[in-house]
Homo-oligomer: A and B are copies of this chain.
């Protein structure tokens, strides 16, 4: 668990606020910028751009500019990106399964006077 441990860096990337949502959104297949933006409700274009650029640098996402008019840019998962889907699905399923417990815990904490 040293600061320099590379897996720490990787986990830091994965832990970045929006990567999980972007990768999940790309699961069914390639998507365009605007599609991603509307699918992941609440993300701003700036943050989406940054997230996609980071994922591209890390080799998880492939960006294809078709150089057409009107512009068409598609983002899709690479093999590496798809390999991340399985562990992420486990986390997402956990989250969905345990939302009630967490909300109950929060409510209890508030009731105790937070």
Residues of A within 8 A of B (CB): 1-3, 6-17, 20-21, 25, 39-42, 56-60, 80, 83-84, 86-88, 90-96, 98-99, 101-106, 108-109, 114
Contacts and interface: CB of A to CB of B under 8 A. Distances in A.
A16 B39 CA distance: 22
Contacts of A83: 94, 98
Which DSSP category, helix, strand, loop or mixed, fits chain A's interface? helix
A94 B101 contact: no
Contacts of A15: 15-17, 20
Contacts of A58: 102, 105-106
Contacts of A109: 56-57
A7 B92 contact: yes
B1 A104 contact: no
A99 B17 contact: no
Given A14-B91, A59-B105, 10 more contacts: A1-B39, A3-B41, A7-B92, A7-B96, A13-B102, A57-B106, A58-B102, A58-B105, A59-B101, A86-B90
